[in-house]
Structure 1
Amino acid sequence: MNLVIKCVAAVIIMIGVHFVSKTKNFYIAGLVLGFPGLSIIAYYFMYREQGALKVRMTTHFAMLAVIPFLCFLVALNFALKKNNIFYSILISSVVWIVLSLVVIFIWNKKSFI
């Protein structure tokens, strides 16, 4: 049942992005994508299953995870100036993957926390 709730939430967010992107304020779709709808559900179930400490640790990691996502957006923005959407997404996804691996490496060291 938990998986069904998460899937329904994802579909609702994607429908919201679809409709907002068709308006004159299409740029608000970027804000809708940032809505923590799935995170709220995931953190709720994580709290119920594993407790507050695990949720807090996950939020700390998620704050680091913002860095690769921001770099993904920057790379996508610049890549779209010279490439089509397919190559732009491919390039920015590689940026995200590389930086995500760096964040995971740093997190596993945990010497700074």
Structure 2
Amino acid sequence: MGLLIKAAIGALVVVLIGILARTRHYYIAGLIPLFPTFALIAHYIVASERGIEALRATLIFGMWAVLPYLAYLISLWYFVALMRLPWALLAAVCCWCVAAWLLITLWSRWQG
């Protein structure tokens, strides 16, 4: 039953994004996926299982984790002017993956 509720919430979010994309405030559709649903869950689990210090480290990493998303946004902005949308999205996701890999690698070395 819990999986069905989560799927329904996900579907509602997609519908909300679709509705907002059709309004004059279409740009708000880009804010909806950034609601910290999974972050709330992750932070609760980390704090419950590992303690507040681990949560604080997770929060700092989360602040740095904005950089791969920024790389995605900047690269997509650039690529949509050069190629068709599906290829631009794929290229931007590849940029996100490279930036995320770099972040994880550097974080692991810095923390280790």
Aligned residue for 1:101?
A: 101
**In the TM superposition, what is the alpha-carbon distance from 1:79 to its structure 2 partner?**
0.4
Aligned residue for 2:36?
A: 36
**In the TM superposition, what is the alpha-carbon distance from 1:3 to its structure 2 partner?**
6.8
Equivalent AA in structure 1 for residue 81 of structure 2: K
Identity of aligned residues (%): 29
**In the TM superposition, what is the alpha-carbon distance from 1:20 to its structure 2 partner?**
1.5
Aligned residue for 1:86?
A: 86
Equivalent AA in structure 2 for residue 59 of structure 1: L
The correspondence of residues 1-113 of structure 1 with structure 2, limited to 5 A, is 10-110=10-110
What is the alpha-carbon distance in structure 2 between the residues aligned to residue 48 and residue 8 of structure 1?
27
Superposed CA deviations along residues 12-49 of structure 1, whole A, max 9, x for unmatched, are 43333222222221111111122212212332233233
- CA-based RMSD of the aligned residues comes to 2.4
Q: Which runs of 5+ in 1 are unaligned?
A: none
**In the TM superposition, what is the alpha-carbon distance from 1:56 to its structure 2 partner?**
1.6
What is the alpha-carbon distance in structure 1 between the residues aligned to residue 12 and residue 48 of structure 2?
23
Q: Which runs of 5+ in 2 are unaligned?
A: none
**Helix, strand or coil at the partner of 1:83:** coil
Deviates more, 1:9-18 or 1:22-31: 9-18
TM (norm. structure 2) is: 0.80
Counting matched residue pairs gives 111
**In the TM superposition, what is the alpha-carbon distance from 1:67 to its structure 2 partner?**
0.7
